Amino acid sequence: MKTITNCARYILVCAAFLISSCKNKQVNETGTAFSLSDTMLAKCAFSHAASKELKNEIRLFGKLEADNNKTAQVFSVVGGLVTSINVGLGDYVKQGEVLATIQSSEVANYEQQRQDAINEVAVSEKKLQVENDLFAGKLNTEKDVKVAEAELNKAKANLARLKEIYSIYKFKKGSVFPVVAPINGFVITKKININELLLSEEHEPLFSIANTNEIWAVAYVNESNISQIKENYEADVNTLAFPEITYKGRIEKIYNVIDANTRSMKFRVRIPNNDFQLKPDMNCTVSVRYAEKDSMIAVPSSAVIFDKSKYWVMIFKDRHNLETRRVEPYRQLGDTTYIQSGLTEGETVISRNGMLIYDALND
């Protein structure tokens, strides 16, 4: 009999606990008893529902190009034999770095002219000194002194001209011509081989160098979408090589010419490339956002919760007053979601860790 009484008491206690749990669950779901702790409150972020200009997005294909304002073509100003090549395709070079050396008879000729000019200046200086001494002893005329001065000035001018040529073309003593990098950047083309004989009238660049700390994403837009593309519009660039990274920029230039074959127009977006991950000729997609001349309530996309085939947001009034609200999204555009019904301007939503609050109230 005592055993039966104890069992009955145990059953009654369990039943009371279950009833209490159900009541607490129901209270939480109505939002009347649930309260955010200080810890949870600190982990949440809050945003106000606001009316924003309605934007749409168009995705286009293109490729990456080096900024041609930061690209240099490297030529040889002399003909001769290529004796060394110090860089290859894709190498990073610094301004003034020697890319290759050419042994040239033309450089040897310039060196001979420079030595002759130095000697001519020395001879003219001595001659002027002699004429000044003779003039002091009244053994010649002032005209003789003036002629000697003119010859010295002419010799100095010729030497200065040759020094300027040496400075411009980086000539060295002897017959070796160094091909140097005019800018910092990567070698993107190389059209020179060891022991190759170059002609002085060669018009092909030996190297092309591009500074790619910024790069262009050049995309193509069809005639039907041209009206949606305008300068300064926001654009997101994604590549096949780094699909997880979105590069943000704005439309910098529109090429107002239609390609007769593709019936498309080009535009470009400048994007940063400080880590040099992006390379010219990579394929890319460019997503352009444009305005639709309308406005709609918008919240951060992180505030919208999808559950039970419906969309919800957590409305925050204070730590003791929370509401699970069903909403109808109109469009998600990156970090922004436009809401066509369910929210009014100014209401506060939980935009970080809202799912935890939703689970606590609704599970």
Where exactly are the structural domains of the chain?
A: 33-54+294-362, 57-68+213-293, 74-104+176-211, 105-174
Q: Are 43 and 354 contacting, i.e. CB atoms less than 8 angstroms apart?
A: no
In the prediction, which pLDDT does 26 show?
34
Residue 254 — left, alpha, or beta (φ > 0 → left; ψ -120 to 50 → alpha)?
Answer: beta
pLDDT of residue 33: 61
User: 5 pLDDT exceeds 70?
Assistant: no
21 band by pLDDT with thresholds 50, 70 and 90: very low
What local confidence, expressed as pLDDT, does residue 62 receive?
Answer: 94
The token pair at 142 is 């002032």
- The CA R_g of the chain, rounded to the nearest whole Å, is 39
CATH code reported for the domain at 57-68+213-293: 2.40.30.170
pTM recorded for the entire structure: 0.61
Match 């003779």 to its residue by tokens: 134
Tens of pLDDT along 80-95? 999 999 999 999 999 9
DSSP state of 224: G
pLDDT-based confidence at residue 24 (cuts at 50, 70, 90) = very low
Whole-angstrom distance, CA of residue 249 vs CA of residue 105: 51
Mean pLDDT of 158-175: 86
Please give the CATH number for the structural domain made up of 74-104+176-211: 2.40.50.100
Fold of 33-54+294-362: 2.40.420
What CATH topology corresponds to 105-174? Answer: Helix Hairpins (1.10.287)
Contacts for 224-228: CB closer than 8 Å, 24+ residues apart: 225/58, 225/60, 226/265, 228/56, 228/58, 228/288, 228/290
Evaluate whether 287 touches 235 at the Cβ level (below 8 Å).
yes
Q: How many CB atoms lie within 10 A of CB 82?
A: 19
The confidence band for 196, taking pLDDT boundaries of 50, 70 and 90, is very high
Mapped onto helix, strand or coil, the DSSP state of residue 176 is strand
Neighbour tally for 345: CB within 10 Å: 12
- More reliable by pLDDT, 290 or 26: 290
Say whether pLDDT at 8 is over 70: no
- Identify the weakest region by mean pLDDT among 13-17, 193-197, 223-227, 313-317: 13-17
Q: 335, exposed or middle or buried, with CB in 10 Å at 0-12, 13-18, 19+?
A: exposed
